[in-house]
Amino acid sequence: MRGVTWLLVLVLAGCASPSPTRMQFETSAAPEAEQVWPPPPDIPRYRFVGQLTGQQNFHGDRDGQGMGKKVFGWLVGLMSGKQTPVVLQRPQNGFTDNEGRVFVTDVSRAAVYVFDQVRGELLIWEMAGAGLRFRTPLGIIPGPENQILVVDADLARVVRLNSRGKPQGAFGGEVLKRPVGIARDAGRGLIYVSDSQAHNIKVFNDNGKFLREIGHRGEGLGEFNAPTYLTFSQGRLYVTDTLNARVQIFDREGKPLRSLGRRGLFLGDMPRPKGVATDSERNIYVVESYYDHLLIFNDKGEFLLPIGGTGSRIGEFYLPAGVWTDERDRVYVADSFNGRIMVFQYLKEVGEAG
């Protein structure tokens, strides 16, 4: 073992300037022809960008990794007897910040994955507090003052992390039963948390003070049956009302405006909706987990297009969970049981498919 240790020191000394590492969306599983939805001859509206799966999304110049990292990984594997790649296991939800970093919650690993293309590294954040690990991290959003807010259903709280993943406290433990989703009205400093066991939405301020509840159990407009994921966009709060098989839309005061979706067996129905998101044109994206589809609606609630179906090929899903968009109108889907994040580009103008 002493000889291996000295070999490690000598190799790392000789590899002091490894090739820089870059994050890339994995596209090797895609066929040569570009994948778009709807397919030709219709005008394409979405293009497959790639997928995030874990460590394999990070490559060094030319040869896939910096030599130093390759040799270090080989030596660690030699000393431990095995080398296990870091991959997503059961991703649930996420967000993408304005620097392109992708934050993903994973319930199987009980951690937050950070795909950091700025630094060219994959980070794993497992701690929810001093001596306390995440158990079931689900919803995640950017918070105030460069914080990251993570909802943990089993811990029944919202955990604050700083920009490097260090726990900064938590809130909601005194009122939350089983939180799932989270959204924030940054303009007003309000945080919305869906409580699936209490069948309502709880509202906090940015300091974590509980303010009020929205809704209660029921089937009417403004009532819920196990709400899950949320998003807040352009003055509206979107709530996946999962066991009522719909998405409800509220104004920023919590007044219900309308709903979309219904139970049924046809494409476009929502027997088990989960993730919800919107883009810059207020198109609405809903993950329908029962039939493994991403359903796309316009702002009026009219069904536009499905992407998906059960499977593991590009554009297929297996028990998908969350969905979110970024400032470039890319659409990210947490394809949970396939252990990946599928990424699509919304094509606003004809010609963007090229």
Domains of the chain: residue spans and CATH: 2-346 (2.120.10.30)
Instruction: List, as one string, the DSSP characters of 177-226.
Output: SSEEEEEEETTTTEEEEEETTTTEEEEEETT--EEEEE--BSSSTT-BSS
**Distance (Å, whole) CA 295 – CA 303:** 8
How distant, in Å, are the alpha carbons of 144, 190, 207, 236, 273 from that of 254?
A: 21, 11, 20, 9, 21
CB atoms within 10 A of CB 291: 18
The model scores a pTM over 0.75:
yes
How large is the greatest C-alpha to C-alpha distance in the chain, in angstroms? 71
Collapsed DSSP state (helix, strand, coil) of residue 145: helix
Local confidence pLDDT in tens for the 354 residues of the chain:
555 444 444 444 444 445 567 899 877 544 556 899 999 999 999 999 999 999 999 987 444 444 444 434 444 444 445 556 799 999 999 999 999 999 999 999 999 999 999 899 999 999 999 999 999 999 999 999 999 999 999 999 999 999 999 999 999 999 999 999 999 999 999 999 999 999 999 999 999 999 999 999 999 999 999 999 999 999 999 999 999 999 999 999 999 999 999 999 899 999 999 999 999 999 999 999 999 999 999 999 999 999 999 999 999 999 999 999 999 999 999 999 999 999 999 998 654 544
> In Å, how far are 46, 158, 177, 322, 337 from 333, measured between CA atoms?
13, 22, 27, 6, 12
Please provide the DSSP assignment of 20-47 as one string.
Answer: PEEE--B-TTS-SSPPEESPTTSPP-EE
